[in-house]
Amino acid sequence: MNEGMRRVQVLLPFPGEGLFDYRVPEAVVPGQIVRVPFGRGAKLGIVWSLEADPSVPDERIKAVEAVWQGLPPLVSADRELLEFTARYYLAPLGEVVAAMLPPALRRRKREPRTAKPDTGGSAMPAGLLPELTPGQRAALEAVPREGFSVTLLHGITGSGKTEVYLRLIADCLARGRQALLLVPEIGLTPQLTERVRARFSSARIVCLHSDAPASERSAAFVAALRGEVDIVLGTRLAVFAPFVRLGLVVVDEEHDPSYKQFEGVPYSARDLAVWRARRWNVPIVLGSATPSLESWAACEAGRYRRVALSARASGQPLPTIELIDTTQTSAEEGVSEPLARAIEETLKRGEQALVFLNRRGYAPVVCCGHCGWVSRCPNCSVNLVFHRDDGRMHCHHCGHREAPPRACPECGALDLRPIGRGTQRLEERLQALFPQARIARIDRDAVKTLPQWETLLEEVRAGQYDLLVGTQMMAKGHDFPSLTLVGVIGADAGLYAAEVRATERMFQQLMQVAGRAGRAGAPGRVLIQTEFSQHPLFRELAAHDYAAFAGRTLAERRALRLPPFAFQALLRADDEALEPALAFLEEARSAARSLAASEARPIRVFDPVPMRLVRLARRERAQLLVEGDHRPALHAFLERWAGALRELPHPRSLRWRLEVDPLET
């Protein structure tokens, strides 16, 4: 070994464990960012451990290419975050570190230049602060500023949760600490971003999200590693941003499923944020008008504190929620007479109305009325959705598009019909009902980029539209001062879906979208069209009683031993055909049964079944669920099972992955 050099393990972004031995100068410490030769190229990595494998002969160990000495080493708390993530989600460490190191930084050949000494201007809030409501004051008093604690800030829509976050962040910055603020989707929350920037105009703020330019993400990572950042604001991937003086974590809209990563390592950013806060021994605030039942149950169990904001900051009452029973009233082309009348009255008063339909496109399927043929995706087990704007049929799962056939492929009939209703068709209907109204359709087809979205939000606020037709994009934290009526169409789908969290999602979505009504001036009104007006969910919704909904649903889940009263992991396998996927899962089940038998606590191993959406992008998919009532026992089992799974032979074309705490089973 060369003079002054030592052998260390370096963690590289790699589809596997990712730990490789290299020689580094003696002075190098764990956490140091290094560039190392790898294969015919080079990789960026993190010095992981000073323990290296002595069995490998020295001459086979390469020296690192460069130590990026201008960058401080990643602190141990954040190295442990990577280790925890790998352990908890049973993912190889090399894949976890890939989630942390921004791709653009990994491609750099040279170390980023040392930034000019940053004096870090005053991080004090700018301008006149709005007066706090009594609820906000009480909430601020209730959240501890030091030490680890989890607070669920349950604030009704429009109650001013953001102001509470901003005050907490101000306190955190005043103590010279850094704050992490996670939001579900940056594109959907430009208002929040603006407010943070406006409030802390001289603070160093970085925005981390997957749509940010690669160079920006890379620069943000470097700045964060150097501690030259006061506030990290970002989507789920920001949970891996490095910190030096973390003092506060805030997770806004903590119930939002977009905190869950689906590709690569399937982590939950909200859950990792809680772990991180505990490791840094700092407070974390989870905010929502409709908390996840996991967080609600944690409050009931006394693990989280609960702080309620139960009045709207504007002093406005919550909107009234009424049901329109579509078994009694016909709804021509989806819009019932009472809803049409309410829209007309709203428009007459010069106020805005929103009609919510969480289905984009023109019609969810094209059918032949003569033989029953339906437009199916050639790659997936779903129907193709007809879109009016480009006149094509789209698969919303794999992206396949094709022109609608001129004649039915089965019987040759020409009269094919779009059946059902998406936002485009609803827009057409509303325009026919209200020819004078200026209508904006707000869904992922109409709004594709962040600037488009920001412009549209601005135009809506400026009153350039009278009537909005929107999907769940409209349901998240927006303030539209003249919006006073919300109509909901096609909400029933969630009521009887065979999915544990379907009603939870439905309730959250309806409550959020209802919360758009009447936030500023006039009182709001919400009309929901449903065939199931007697369902308790609607009663709880009309009473704005989240606690009743949560109580009833948690009781059901407890009785059925479903999450959060049981812990789950889901093994999914997919292949070109279903049989090999099921066969692999059968083997996996045998392995699981024999391992589970030796566990002290019961692990329930279910049968392999085809997934509901069995065919996706030409792959046939099946799944196997395992459950335990005790998390450590389940994890002990999962670690051994994952090891056994790696040894299981399978066709090359088969892929499998194990997901801990799946959101959908």
Q: Scanning residues 417 to 446, which ones bind other proteins (CB under 8 A)?
A: 417-418
Of positions 370, 397, 650, 657, contacts other proteins by CB under 8 A: 370
> Position 308: which residue type?
A
Stretch binding other proteins (CB under 8 A), from 331-339, 416-424, 459-467, 531-539: 416-424
Nearest approach, Cβ of residue 181 and other proteins (Å)? 45
Tokens describing residue 170:
């101000």
- Using the rule CB under 8 A, give the single segment among 82-90, 153-161, 292-300, 401-409 that binds other proteins: 401-409
Length of the chain as a residue count? 665
Q: How many CB atoms lie within 10 A of CB 14?
A: 18
Q: Does 412 bind other proteins (CB under 8 A)?
A: no
Which residues in 196-225 contact other proteins (CB under 8 A)? none
Q: What's at 471, amino acid-wise?
A: T
User: For other proteins, which is the closer residue by CB, 51 or 390?
Assistant: 390
CB of 616 to other proteins, least distance (A): 24
Could you say which of 50, 371, 560, 613 contacts other proteins (CB under 8 A)? 371
User: What 3-state class would DSSP assign to 509?
Assistant: helix
Whole-number Å distance between alpha carbons of 431 and 395: 27
Among the residue ranges 404-412, 426-434, 455-463, 617-625, the one whose residues contact other proteins (CB under 8 A):
404-412
150 conformational bin, left if phi > 0, alpha if psi -120 to 50, beta if neither? beta
Cα separation, 383 vs 372, whole angstroms:
13
CB of 332 to other proteins, least distance (A): 14
Helix (H, G, I), strand (E, B) or coil at 235: coil
Select 177 or 429, whichever has its Cβ closest to other proteins: 429
Nearest of 106, 100, 149 to residue 267 by alpha carbon: 100
Q: Nearest distance from residue 368's CB to other proteins, in Å?
A: 8
Q: Verify binding: residue 651, other proteins, rule CB under 8 A.
A: no
CA–CA distance, 467 with 431 (Å, rounded to integer): 9
Residue from 40, 60, 406, 646 that binds other proteins (CB under 8 A)? 406
For residue 625, how many C-alpha atoms fall within 13 Å in the half-sphere facing its CB?
16
Indicate whether 369 belongs to the interface with other proteins (CB under 8 A).
yes
Nearest C-alpha neighbor of 336 from the set 323, 319, 353, 351:
323
Q: Which of 29, 414, 609, 613 binds other proteins (CB under 8 A)?
A: 414
- Does 366 participate in binding other proteins (rule CB under 8 A)? yes
Give the separation between CA 563 and CA 554, rounded to whole angstroms: 9
Q: Which is nearer to other proteins, 23 or 425 (CB)?
A: 425
Q: Give kind and range of the element (H or E) at residue 632.
A: helix 631-647
Tokens linked to 326:
């579509």
Angle at 661 between CA 221 and CA 501, to 5 degrees: 110
Q: Should residue 416 be labelled a site residue for other proteins when binding is judged by CB under 8 A?
A: yes
Q: Of the listed pieces 253-261, 271-279, 415-423, 649-657, which binds other proteins according to CB under 8 A? A: 415-423
Q: Are strands 567-575 and 655-660 parallel, antiparallel or unpaired?
A: antiparallel
Query: Is residue 395 a contact point for other proteins (CB under 8 A)?
Result: no
- Given the complex with other proteins, which of 371 and 555 has the nearer CB atom? 371
161-174 and 134-142 are packed helices; what angle lies between their axes, rounded to 10 degrees?
40
**Angle, CA 514 vertex, CA 486 and CA 456 arms, to 5°:** 65
- The reply to whether 404 sits near other proteins by the rule CB under 8 A is yes
Nearer to other proteins, 108 or 370 (CB): 370
Q: Which residues pair with 155 in a beta bridge?
A: 309
Does 405 bind other proteins (CB under 8 A)? Our answer is yes
Nearer to other proteins, 70 or 409 (CB): 409
374 or 636: whose CB is closer to other proteins?
374
Q: How far is the CB of 412 from other proteins (least distance, A)?
A: 11
401-402 and 393-394 beta bridge pairing: antiparallel
- In whole angstroms, the minimum distance from the beta carbon of 489 to other proteins comes to 21
Question: Per CB under 8 A, does 643 bind other proteins?
Answer: no
Determine the straight-line distance between the first and last CA of the chain, rounded to whole angstroms: 53
Binding residues with other proteins: total (CB under 8 A): 17
CB closer to other proteins, 390 vs 607: 390
Element (H, E) at 568: strand 567-575
Query: Residues interacting with other proteins, by CB under 8 A?
Result: 366, 369-372, 386, 391, 393, 403-406, 414-418
